[in-house]
Chains A and B, each alone.
Chain A
Amino acid sequence: MNVFRLTGDLSHLAAIIILLLKIWKSRSCAGISGKSQILFAIVFTTRYLDLLTSFISLYNTCMKVIYIGCAYATVYLIYAKFRATYDGNHDSFRVEFLVVPVGGLSVLINHDFSPLEILWTFSIYLESVAILPQLFMISKTGEAETITTHYLFCLGLYRALYLFNWIWRFYFEGFFDMIAIVAGVVQTVLYCDFFYLYVTKGWFSRPYRL
């Protein structure tokens, strides 16, 4: 555990909670891609299956349970509780174009050809592109609420901080995981355009418009 890893995890947690609270408080999921949230729920489910097979630390277990719980709670709010506010017409990204190639890639390129390892690899690859339906939705409608931009910022920051964590671990522990690093770089790059707009346009208080 290093400072980048910890702040990355906390940033990830902040993103998840910001989104959950935003939907809960506003009683609306307008502008939120339900498809991205389903993908994240799949990501957490397939990655954290090791909850059943190995114990790493109390921190590790707690965070995994919280992430999974929040992911399903978010999906529930969007598709059940506040379904009437869900903007399905604008959430039109074809997720099969992500899930199918990612599934194929995880079978072809993995550390070990075992079910758990392939599912872990699948989750890493899928996470790197899971935000695309959300970004697509924003580009389609041309705007996002401020709180949604905070969510995206925290979510992008999390993977960027993980990149520094991996650099740290490589230098100080000799540890590296090429699959996680490459996918993490891809994931962070997808947020670059958004980061640029978030910072330069000063969309800290105004609605985000393209």
Chain B
Amino acid sequence: EDDAKPKDEL
């Protein structure tokens, strides 16, 4: 699964 975190986007 693609790594989505940590979330730097708003």
Contacts and interface: CB of A to CB of B under 8 A. Distances in A.
Interface of A: 5, 9, 12, 47, 50, 54, 56-57, 60, 63-64, 67, 111-112, 117, 120, 162, 165, 175-180
Contacts of A67: 10
Interface residues on B, range: under 10
Interface of B: 1-2, 4-10
Specify the main secondary structure of chain B where it touches its partner: loop
Nearest to A179: B4
A139 B8 CA distance: 35
A57 B8 contact: yes
19 contacts: A5-B9, A47-B7, A50-B6, A50-B7, A54-B6, A56-B6, A56-B7, A56-B8, A57-B8, A60-B10, A64-B10, A111-B1, A111-B2, A111-B5, A117-B4, A120-B4, A176-B2, A177-B2, A179-B4
Nearest to A169: B9
A63 B10 contact: yes
A99 to B, nearest CB: 22
A120 B7 contact: yes
A12 B10 CA distance: 10
Contacts of B4: 111, 117, 120, 177, 179-180
